[in-house]
Amino acid sequence: MFRPLVAAAAAALTVLGLVAAPASATPEAAPPKPAPAAPQAAAAAQTLTWTGTDSTTEYGIEPTSAVAGQTTIVFENSTATGNTTGMPHTLTFDRSTPGYNHDVSLNILANPFDANNGRHEATVTLTPGKYRYYCTIPGHSTMAGEFTVTNGGGGDTTPPTVSAQVTGTQNTEGDYVGSATVTINATDTESGVDTVEYQLDGGAWTPYTAPVVVSAAGDHMLHYRATDVEGNASPDGMVSFSVVEEGNEDTTPPTVTAEVSGEQDAEGNYVDSATVTVTATDDGSGVALVEYEIDDTGFHAYTGPVTVTEPGDHTVQFRATDAAGNESQTGSVPFRVVEGGEEDTTPPTVTAEVSGEQDAEGNYVDAAVVTLSASDQGSGVASVEYQLDGGAWTAYTGPVTVNTAGAHMLHYRATDVAGNASPEGMAHFTIVEQDTTAPTVSATVVGQQDAEGNYVGSALVTLSASDEGSGVDTVEYSLDGGPWTRYSQAVQVSAAGEHTLAYRATDLAGNTSAQGSESFTVVEDPNEDTVAPSVSAVVTGDQDASWNYLDTATVTISALDVDSGVASIEYKLDDGAWTAYTEPLSVGEGSHTVWYRATDNAGNVSAELSGSFTVVAANNDACPDSDTRATVIIGYENTFIANVDTGNGCTINDLIAEDAEYETHNAFVRHVKQVTRNLVTTGVLLSVERDIIVRAATRSDIGTNGANAA
């Protein structure tokens, strides 16, 4: 049976929903005008104008302010506005960056030669707050700005709502190890948030632009406030926390992964939308910042799952930075979104381009390369095919090289996911033969050698080919008489014994070189890793007197290999399948057996080990003699916060336990901070309620010289 061990708690990442704006779409149709109603104050009617020029860094004209209500948007990118090159621009409203209104979907593509001669209009309804706009054309990323919308009547007298959350790695006393990160969120449903400020440890008020990282060891208090566009200021809020020094400097970047979810069709495309969830962990100083970008449009702070709705192929990139400043590598997830609901009846568009060296008559010398391109704005391209000189239709996977002399016809077509097939296209070209010289090809064998010239452990064979005529098309090799294989990278041979690697090359004109070969011998490495990794597992969690785990148990598996290093860890829970282990397992009620094993980089696999344990439901009433006073009271101070049941039969007063013994007053305050922090996380308390309780604990004399005021 496993014995309980204390497990480090993983930092939780608070997420909020985000919706990504379409990258290319027509502007929303204007909503229908409402029927006449009884006379009342008229909604703000206005026109906002943007213009495009030859510049790729800024719009010609752009607004800075507006009033709430129905608004006509004019975007003109024409010769009249200074565009003399026919350059396209877009006017796109940002619907994902935090801090801006996301309720208007606007994405207008305009150029002087489009059907509207570059002038487009759309009708939208603006609400109080700030909007961000930008151009989505690659290379035009600095064409961006923002404008503020007020309610126009000066009737907003309600201040913003503002809150703060502290995150980071904590020790058992609730102190933050190395650093703490404070994230402030402010909202205003009327005129909109104008400014957010914070004050750290009594210092100057500072504009809040990004999460505040506090790394100085000691106790800290961070006050915060917000002001809306009409000048209404919120009451000051406050969070208090302690930072302690960490034992070792954190030099390891966070681990960050992403998962794509949503409804998928039979081809794996996401129907109508795809949601990307990014997860980051850091066992050192803790995750400070997670960022993402959609289709190379610029990185944004990640605060919650990102939803992409525009049909087409997309890539979301992501990265994370910890509190010590270590940044992870940038990861990416590709996916395709297709439209659902309305049936796609439009076939794809497909084109062909023929390239190669040509003579004076336009014939292609020795070889021609045909490249096909297909696109589909509906359900997406499912397949592209070609037919050469009346042969069979063949799936197109890359450029087609034709090197037979004579006239040729290459037909091509594409089919989308909805089954619509494009009309057949045709490319006609003629090849004349000129290159009759085969390529030259050589091989180089490298690796650690012993006194006899044998390669120890493995040999690495590199092939090189050149052709001064039509150019090299393919390089192939055959190891020890095996099948010919296309060469793409150096060939590593690790099997002990004598070996012969044959090789050859073919140029674009179809000339094949004479076959070459290299012979060599590989012997075993006397220092080869033949020892399997060691692997262990621990189960942690709250336990009863019979060593059963209460509600859940956490299984943590670790492995060590001092030679080649651990390659993978696997586990099997009860009768389940073997699964790659990536993070601690949370296991619910029941009797369980977990099997586990590890493999090192040399391929050695450990013995399969196992452990058994039982998880039972916890007693729902953990505090039978509960403190049921109506409000939370600390010492002589009534906080007027409701003393509610926290979910297991214990009230907030029970958990604060003011009558318990504490070595010092600070020990009591730390206890209250930890208890109320957990209650905020579980939704029992609001952050502002927690601040009131912590202040009451700070002002009390509980724990001072052992005095616990009742």
Given the candidates 3.30.565.10, 2.102.10.10, 3.40.50.920, 2.60.40.10, the CATH classification of the domain at 161-244 is 2.60.40.10
Amino acid (1-letter code) at residue 680: V
Topology (CATH level 3) of domain 43-150? Immunoglobulin-like (2.60.40)
Confidence (pLDDT) at 394: 94
Distances (CA, A) of 296 to 2, 152, 318, 332: 49, 37, 11, 11
Delimit the domains of the chain by residue range. 43-150, 161-244, 349-432, 440-519, 534-616, 631-699
Give every CB contact of residue 641 below 8 A, 6+ residues apart in sequence.
631, 632, 652, 685, 689, 692, 693
- Cα-flanking dihedrals φ and ψ of residue 52, to 5°? -110, 150
- Please state the pTM of the whole predicted model: 0.28
Confidence (pLDDT) at 10: 29
Of 69, 76, 77, the closest CA to residue 46 belongs to 69
* Eight-class DSSP state of 525: -
Confidence (pLDDT) at 436: 85
Regions of the chain with pLDDT less than 50: 1-44, 706-710
Q: Tokens at residue 270, please?
A: 């996401």
Confidence (pLDDT) at 8: 30
Amino acid (1-letter code) at residue 697: A
Give the mean pLDDT of the chain: 85
Cβ contact 200:220 at 8 Å: yes
Give every CB contact of residue 11 below 8 A, 6+ residues apart in sequence.
167, 168, 169, 281, 282, 286, 287
Cβ contact 376:311 at 8 Å: no
Confidence (pLDDT) at 27: 38
Confidence (pLDDT) at 707: 46
CATH topology agreement for domains 43-150 and 534-616: yes
Cβ contact 152:69 at 8 Å: yes
Q: Where are the beta strands (DSSP E) in 551-704?
A: 553-560, 566-573, 579-580, 585-587, 590-600, 609-616, 631-634, 637-642
Distance CA 396, CA 330 (A): 31
Confidence (pLDDT) at 223: 94
Number of residues assigned to the chain:
710
Confidence (pLDDT) at 154: 58
Cβ contact 689:631 at 8 Å: no
Give the DSSP letter string of 81-121. Answer: GT--S---EEEEE-SSSTTS------EEEE-TTSTTTTEEE
Distance CA 569, CA 597 (A): 6
Topology (CATH level 3) of domain 534-616? Immunoglobulin-like (2.60.40)
pLDDT tens, position by position, 239-255: 999 888 776 567 788 99
Distances (CA, A) of 623 to 498, 620, 644, 647: 76, 9, 13, 11
Distance CA 169, CA 282 (A): 9
Q: What is the CATH number of domain 349-432?
A: 2.60.40.10
Which uninterrupted H or E stretch holds 164? strand 161-167
Q: Integer distance in angstroms from the first to the last C-alpha of the chain? A: 44
Topology (CATH level 3) of domain 440-519? Immunoglobulin-like (2.60.40)
Distance CA 408, CA 321 (A): 56
Distance CA 307, CA 15 (A): 13
